[in-house]
Amino acid sequence: MTEKKPIGAPRGNQNARRHGFYSRVLDEAQKLQLDQAREVEGIDEEIALMRVKLLTLMSEHPQRLDLQMQAFTTITSMVRTKLHISAGGNRSLKDAIAKVLTDIAVPLGIKAFIQ
Amino acid sequence: MELRPYQQEVAKAIFDSILLGKGLTFSVEIARQGGKNELSAHIEVLLLTMFIAKGGTSIKCSPTFKPQTLISMTRLKDRLDEFGYDGIWQAEFGYIVRLGAARQVFLSADESSNVVGHTADILLKVDESQDINQDKCSRYKDTVTDLSDERIDNDLYLI
């Protein structure tokens, strides 16, 4: 006698898992935000957000120099990180442009490469 | 991945029109699995590279955002990574890929989508144009024409 095959996905399967490790502590709205956050590249938005926060602090709590300095230090650190990332990217940018030139532009006979 | 001769022929004609400012329109028909989207991604990589400093915008519209537009965006991002632009290109607003000052915008031609507000000053591509509502197609063209008639270099229709 053959054993009856159970219907449906096996217990404990991960088919419905969409949001990874942190999703267990997020509500539905936050899971949507997580999807949107994945689309963001670089830290420009975070730097801009910190600048707005600093402005708010200066406006609403002008006497709290300690908090303002803390925000300023954070922005400085973020900008330094951004520049560090960019500096590392310059070498790879040259390499990437060279690869596009040799692999795509040259076979197409394109001479006026960079506009 | 190198383009096949029949793909190169199309790419050459398109770039000839863009670089010489001919403003031509092309209708490209390639058999299924023939590499139409691969050709499109190569064109996008090359255009983003060529206009990385000068800046400019290409627009690609597809019949639906999901899955066609998403597939096109993913393919472009994959190709950019393969050519070594990983960590250099940036995604904006979930439907734009930016490389330096150059942008590739992906729009959907869904009935509910709003196509007004973008200017294709390098190239306008319509993917699967036979599936796109003619009124919508006209609106794409109107968008480009109304906003930047003098700046149009090329319209391309990939079918």
Pick the residue with more confidence: B116 or B63?
A: B63
CB contact under 8 A, A41 and B49: no
Minimal Cβ distance to B94: which of A39, A92, A109: A39
The predicted pLDDT at position A17 comes to 54
Is the pLDDT at B157 greater than 50, yes or no? Answer: no
Q: Does A28 touch chain B (CB under 8 A)?
A: no
Q: B91, A99: Cβ pair inside 8 Å?
A: no
Residue with tokens 């691969």: B38
Cβ contact A115–B46 (<8 Å): no
Please, what is the Cα angle at B126 between B121 and B131, to 5 degrees?
160
Choose the closest CB to A108 out of B11, B87, B88: B11
Query: Any CB–CB contact under 8 A between B51 and chain A?
Result: yes
Q: Does A2 touch chain B (CB under 8 A)?
A: no
Higher pLDDT, A21 or A109: A109
Measure A26 CA to nearest chain B CA, in Å.
22
Burial of A112 (0-12, 13-18, 19+ CB in 10 A): exposed
Answer whether A103 touches B (CB < 8 Å): yes
pLDDT tens column, B25-43: 888 888 888 888 899 999 9
The C-alpha atoms of residue B135 and residue A101 are separated, in whole angstroms, by: 38
Q: Does this model's pTM top 0.80?
A: no
Q: Which residues of chain A lie closer than 8 angstroms to B50, CB-CB?
A: 105, 113-115
What pLDDT score was predicted for residue B140? 54
The mean pLDDT of B139-159, rounded to a whole number, is 40
ipTM: 0.79
Residue pair B8/A109 in contact (Cβ under 8 Å)? The answer is: no
Per-residue pLDDT averaged across B121-126, rounded? 88
Structure tokens at B117: 């507000």
